[in-house]
Structure 1
Amino acid sequence: MYRLHIANKNYSSWSLRPWVLMRQLDIPFEERLTPFESDSNWSTFRAFSPSGQVPCLEDGERTVWESLAIVEYLAERHQGIWPADEQARAWARCASSEMHAGFSPLRSLCPMNCGVRVKLHHMPDALAGNLARLDELWQQGLARFGGPFLAGESFTAVDAFFAPVAFRVQSFGLELGAPSMDYVARLLSLPAMQQWYEEALAEPWREAAHEAEVQQNGTIIEDRRPG
C-alpha cells in the first residue's frame, strides 16, 4: 500500500493535493502526518523526503516527492487521474502546471489556514490579478468541458490542484464570478474535502510562522479551531 507523508491539514496546501485526489478516487493509502516544526528548515521531513518537504509518497522502496510528480506517478498506475478525453487532458495538465508554478501573490497573501476567517487589510493589484486569472481559467474549463468539474464530469487531478484555493476563498472571503463560486462550493462539499476540513479544525498544533503569515495580511475575525 502507498504511504503518503503530509503535514498539518490546517496549513499544508501542497499535502492536500495528492491526499484529496487519492481519497476521491478511492486509491488506498496509509497517511503519515508530521507536524511542521517551529524552525525554518523543516528538518524533520528529511527523514522521509529527499527535499525535506511534503507531500512525499512511498511505494515500497520507491520514493516520489513533489505534488505534480506524485500525480503523474499515480496516473501511470490508476485510471481517472487525468481526464480520458485528449483535449480535456491537455487542458487539465496545463492548468495544473500553471497552479503548481504560479499564483504567488495568492499563495503569500492568502496562505491556507482552514480554521480561520480573515478580512484582508486591502486588495493588492497582484492579488486582484491572480483572482482574475483564476476566475478566467475556471470558467473556461467549466464552460468548455461542461462541468461540474474543471475538465468534465469527473473529479480529476486538475481539481485536486485547485482544491487548496477553495479553502483560501472560504477563509479570506475572496470574491469570484458566480460559476467559480459555485465550483468552490462544489469542491468544499466533497466528502474528502469535508474530512480534511474537519480533521484540520481538530488538530492540536499551532505553528507560529504559519499563524503569523495570516496576521500580516489581514485581521482574523473568526477562529473555528478549539482552544
Structure 2
Amino acid sequence: MQIDLRGDISGFLSSHPKFPLMSLHHFDMVEPIFPAKDRFDSTRHLLKAAAADQSRTLQQIVCYHRQNNWSFSIAWGYSAHIYENIIPRSVLQYPIETFKTWNRSPRPPHYMFNTRRRSWNPCEAPHMFFMENVEKTVAGDEIVTSYGRAWPRGLPACSASGNHSADFVSKIRVLSPAIKRFEIDRSECCDIVQVDGNNAEIKLRECRTGEIIA
C-alpha cells in the first residue's frame, strides 16, 4: 500500500483494506498518526504493533454489542472506534474522510476508493481510541493491545438506538491469538467479552462457517 494523502490520515488507517501494510509514502506530508506524539514517535509506536504481529497490523475487525446497540471497529495495533448504533460492516469499511487529497485542487472523483464524510450525528460519529500498549499474555498464547480514549466525543447519546451512551468507556482491550494469520484476504471476527466499569474487552477469532461478515 502506498499513501498519497495529506493531513490527518487516521480515518484511512482506521478502515485499512484487507491486505498488509507495505509502506507509507510522503509521510512528511501527513500529521502524526497518534495523538500527543510526533511523527517519529508515532512511527515507532505503530512498529511496536507490527513487531508483535505484522499480519494483523491495521487490519479491520468489526463486531457488535447487541445489548447497547453498539458497533466496534478495530484497526489492530492502531485504533478502535465505538459507534452508538448498529452499522453494517459494509459501511464501516469505508474510511472517514479526515484526510485531504494529494493534489490540492483535484477534479472528482477525489479518491480511488469510497469514503464516508465526517458526521456530527451522534448515531454516526465514533468515539475514538488509539493504541497505548501491546504485549503478550503471561501464558504467551495471546497478544493484548490496549486502546485509550483520544478525547471526549462531545455529543449526546444516539436516541435512535436507545440512548446507550459510550462516554464512560475510557479503555478497550483486544485479545488476539499469538498466531500469525496467513489468510489475510479474509476478515477475522470478534466477540465483546465484557463492558464493565470504564473498560471494554474484545476477543478476536476466526469467523464461523456461514457467519455474515459483509
TM over 0.5: no
- Please, what TM-score do these two structures have when normalized by structure 1? 0.24
**Higher RCO (C-alpha under 8 Å, 6+ residues apart):** 1
More helix by share: 1
- Please, what TM-score do these two structures have when normalized by structure 2? 0.25
